[in-house]
């Protein structure tokens, strides 16, 4: 909440409790607002991914999804390179290009990260909610 830069906190807190209060009430349900949960994330850099998964009690998602140091380093580097290259291309850097090999490597790294982090998030949610894994 501190990172949302709300000017009028009282009305925003009231609105927050109306929308999200169900999270702290037994027998009630609601919908999580992904925009609110990710308002601070501008790009899925490895640092931001670690920060996001900490919300779900996963201290370091990269350590949680792989034991091998070289795999962890490779995933972090590939994901950072993907974000950097995407930003450079989007901002018109004429010296940046993505080769077929680059795209294949980024796709593979993103797929590995997503598959493994998805399993970790399912385990974390089961632990937090004291229920079976949701998927």
* pLDDT per residue as tens digits for the range 7-19: 777 887 888 888 8
Q: Which residues contact 81 (CB under 8 A, 6 or more apart)?
A: 106
The pLDDT, as a whole number, for residue 66 is 96
Same-domain check for residues 126 and 96: yes
The pTM assigned to this predicted structure is 0.79
The pLDDT, as a whole number, for residue 5 is 65
Same-domain check for residues 57 and 107: yes
DSSP assignment of 103-129, as one string? HHHHHHHHHHHHHHHHHHHHHHHHHHH
Same-domain check for residues 33 and 78: no
Nearest to 77 by CA among 65, 67, 89, 62: 62
Give me the tens of pLDDT residue by residue for the chain, a chain 135 residues long. 565 666 777 887 888 888 888 877 777 888 877 887 788 888 999 999 999 999 899 999 999 999 999 999 999 999 999 999 999 999 999 999 999 999 999 999 999 999 999 999 999 999 988 889 888
Same-domain check for residues 66 and 107: yes
Same-domain check for residues 46 and 83: yes
The pLDDT, as a whole number, for residue 117 is 98
> How far is 112 from 131, CA to CA, in rounded Å?
26
Same-domain check for residues 47 and 34: no
The pLDDT, as a whole number, for residue 78 is 97
Nearest to 113 by CA among 87, 80, 85, 79: 79
The number of distinct structural domains making up the chain is 2
> Which residues span the domain enclosing 16?
1-40
Same-domain check for residues 9 and 19: yes
Same-domain check for residues 13 and 71: no
The pLDDT, as a whole number, for residue 30 is 83
Distance between start and end Cα atoms, the chain? 28
Question: Where do the H-state alpha helices sit in the chain?
Answer: 9-20, 34-37, 46-54, 61-65, 69-90, 100-129
Residues present in the chain in total: 135
The pLDDT, as a whole number, for residue 102 is 95
């Amino acid at each position: 909440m501190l990172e949302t830069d709300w000017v009028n906190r009282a009305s925003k807190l009231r609105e927050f409790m109306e929308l999200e209060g169900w999270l702290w009430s037994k027998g009630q349900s609601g919908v999580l607002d992904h925009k609110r949960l990710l308002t601070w994330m501008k790009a899925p850099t490895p640092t931001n991914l670690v920060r996001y998964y900490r919300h779900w009690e996963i201290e370091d998602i990269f350590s949680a999804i792989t034991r091998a140091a070289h795999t962890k380093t490779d995933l972090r580097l590939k994901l950072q390179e993907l974000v950097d290259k995407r930003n450079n291309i989007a901002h018109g850097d004429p010296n940046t290009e993505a080769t077929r090999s680059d795209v294949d490597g980024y796709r593979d790294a993103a797929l590995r990260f997503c598959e493994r982090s998805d399993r970790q998030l399912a385990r974390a949610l089961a632990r937090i909610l004291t229920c079976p894994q949701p998927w």
